[in-house]
């Protein structure tokens, strides 16, 4: 599936990938595996698929629940990862909140984290953070107990404890009451807004560029929502605007430039080019979802026919200029004051694109950590999700490659954008212990300093 669908492989790379995977598959001969064991096999496969964060392999949560029902096999509390530090992220764990875990079952935490990541990145760390217990189970199996060495907060005192594994129901209760992320209920909303009087700052948390309700036109729905928000900001006469994208994983690729037009100070041009190597998708009988929609075989064929219509075949690829160097003007109620953008490892796809536009036009200061995705090209378009028939493992693959203007390529050569203010591990940890939002607090300090 990956060899045939991955849209960024040339013929030589595809042949190399086929050869590697065929050789790797010889290790399966004569073996019987559980779904978790096969998932580990896939995790340990080191292949250059040329897929970015849009290419994923996962065990659906309902399958995990079915497999782990009434089995106590999971690491017993949620964690936060700050750089290479694994930190207790719960107040009712058997280890004090904020303690730094240094070893688990005799293995250094740094080595454990490295073994679970194909490459060290902020995106990989954020994904690992929310599923550390499941990744540990897949990678190392189910231990009889967890022997944990840890350091108490701010003391350097080392302690040791042996803990029993927990079942998945206990896990759900624990993970529903973590300290971070702060105000987790907000993440269920598409947009959250607030006004911080002491900093004279209007706050917009935009968690997706996908509309979370059925509407006729997603672009118009966002445009109306943004218009209402920026009318409010204009009435408020705020001097500062804080945009929080930390939990934004992208969405409709037209929305980032629309959103930027509400803070733009000058006209700008937008270009989005889309290419697909082939619309003849393999293993169509295993396709379960296209985008967010469950599909049957007839709907897969219907999707291919309709989606292919605007494309023209050229040099072996299907090409389509989604946006052809079009002029974008600042909106009527655009904000002209100081703008602060909070970014993080979960920012991929359209969120990476927005960050690139923001940086290209030097619209304000960026605070946080390196973003998870790149703006140079995105393996995206429509996501095709396969389900393997025996294990029920899901394989989600993008069918196309999106590229933006040459201006963004030239002006921002780095693959992943770093913030202007990179909050250090030491500062993050102290805010963590105080249960405060370190990125937001650093923005407040910047505003105070600027004023």
Answer yes or no: CATH 3.90.226.10 is held by domain 184-450.
yes
Output the average pLDDT for the chain. 94
Taking residues 108-133, what's their average pLDDT?
93
DSSP string, 295-359: --HHHHHHHHHHHHTT-EEETTEEEEEEEEEEEE---TT---SEEEEEE-TT--THHHHHHHHHH
Structure tokens at 115: 């073994």
pLDDT range class, residue 428, cuts 50, 70, 90: very high
Paired sense of beta strands 317-328 and 312-314, if any: antiparallel
Query: In this model, does residue 345 exceed pLDDT 90?
Result: yes
Give 163-198 pLDDT, tens digit per residue.
999 999 999 999 989 999 999 999 999 999 999 999
Taking residues 366-390, what's their average pLDDT?
93
Query: In this model, does residue 411 exceed pLDDT 90?
Result: yes
Of 231, 204, 39, 56, give the one whose Cα is nearest residue 135: 39
Give 242-276 pLDDT, tens digit per residue.
999 999 999 999 999 999 999 999 999 999 999 99
* Predicted local confidence at residue 214, as pLDDT: 83
Helix (H) or strand (E) holding 325: strand 317-328
Structure tokens at 217: 């036109």
Taking residues 269-296, what's their average pLDDT?
93
Helix residue spans in 44-106 (DSSP H):
61-68
Cα separation, 179 vs 77, in Å, equals 12
What are 387's strand-pairing partners? Answer: 394
Domain boundaries, the chain: 2-53, 79-175, 184-450
Cα separation, 123 vs 370, in Å, equals 9
With contact defined as beta carbons under 8 Å apart, do 164 and 72 qualify? yes
Taking residues 151-168, what's their average pLDDT?
95
* Predicted local confidence at residue 110, as pLDDT: 95
Cα separation, 194 vs 367, in Å, equals 18
Query: In this model, does residue 80 exceed pLDDT 80?
Result: yes
Of 438, 435, 434, give the one whose Cα is nearest residue 423: 438
pLDDT range class, residue 67, cuts 50, 70, 90: confident
Cα separation, 12 vs 238, in Å, equals 55
Query: In this model, does residue 451 exceed pLDDT 80?
Result: no
Give 19-35 pLDDT, tens digit per residue.
999 999 999 999 999 89
| CA within 13 Å, CB half, 227 | 8
Q: Give the three-state DSSP class for 268.
A: strand
Cα separation, 395 vs 3, in Å, equals 12
Report CA-CA distances (Å) from 256 to 159, 245, 295. Answer: 48, 11, 28
Give 124-143 pLDDT, tens digit per residue.
999 999 999 999 999 999 99
- Give percent of the chain above pLDDT 90: 88
What are 340's strand-pairing partners? Answer: 242, 365
Of 174, 298, 192, 322, give the one whose Cα is nearest residue 245: 192
* Predicted local confidence at residue 119, as pLDDT: 82
* Top-tier CATH class for 79-175: mainly beta
Structure tokens at 40: 């580990």
């Amino acid at each position: 599936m990956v060899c045939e669908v991955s849209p960024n492989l040339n013929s030589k790379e595809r042949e190399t990938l086929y050869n590697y995977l065929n050789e790797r598959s010889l290790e399966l001969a004569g073996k019987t595996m559980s779904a978790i064991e096969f998932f580990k096999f896939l995790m340990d496969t080191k292949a250059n698929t040329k897929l970015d964060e849009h290419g994923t392999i996962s065990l659906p949560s309902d399958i995990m629940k079915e497999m782990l029902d009434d089995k106590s096999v999971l690491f017993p509390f949620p964690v936060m990862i700050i750089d290479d530090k694994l930190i207790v992220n719960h107040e009712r764990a058997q280890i004090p909140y904020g303690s730094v875990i240094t070893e688990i079952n005799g293995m250094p935490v740094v080595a454990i984290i490295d073994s679970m990541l194909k490459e060290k990145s902020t995106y990989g760390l954020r994904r690992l953070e929310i599923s550390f217990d499941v990744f540990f189970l897949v990678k190392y199996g189910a231990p009889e107990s967890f022997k944990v060495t840890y350091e108490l907060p701010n003391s350097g005192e080392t302690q040791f404890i042996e803990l029993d594994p927990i079942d998945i129901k206990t896990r759900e209760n624990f993970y529903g009451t973590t300290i971070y992320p702060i105000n987790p209920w907000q993440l269920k909303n598409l947009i959250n807004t607030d006004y911080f009087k002491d900093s004279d700052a209007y706050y917009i948390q935009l968690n997706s560029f996908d509309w979370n309700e059925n509407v006729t036109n997603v672009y118009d729905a966002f445009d109306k929502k943004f218009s209402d928000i920026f009318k409010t900001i204009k009435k408020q006469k705020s001097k500062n605007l804080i945009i929080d994208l930390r939990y934004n994983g992208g969405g409709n690729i037209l929305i980032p430039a629309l959103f930027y037009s509400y803070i733009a100070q000058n006209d700008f041009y937008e270009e989005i080019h889309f290419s697909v190597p082939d619309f003849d998708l393999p293993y169509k009988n295993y396709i379960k979802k296209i985008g967010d929609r469950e599909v049957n075989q007839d709907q897969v064929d219907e999707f291919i026919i309709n989606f292919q219509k605007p494309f023209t075949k050229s040099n072996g690829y299907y090409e389509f200029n989604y946006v052809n160097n079009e002029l974008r003007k600042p909106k009527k109620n655009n904000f002209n004051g100081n703008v602060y953008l909070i970014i993080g490892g979960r920012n991929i796809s359209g969120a990476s694109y927005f960050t690139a536009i923001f940086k290209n036009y030097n619209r304000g200061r960026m605070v946080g950590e390196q973003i998870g995705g790149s703006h140079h090209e995105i393996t995206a378009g429509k996501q095709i999700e396969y389900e393997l028939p025996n294990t029920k493992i899901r394989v989600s693959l993008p069918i196309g490659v999106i590229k933006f203007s040459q201006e963004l390529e030239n002006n921002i050569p780095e693959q992943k954008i770093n913030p202007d203010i990179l909050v250090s591990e030491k500062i993050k940890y102290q805010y963590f212990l105080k249960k405060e939002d370190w990125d937001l607090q650093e923005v407040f300090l910047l505003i105070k300093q600027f004023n």
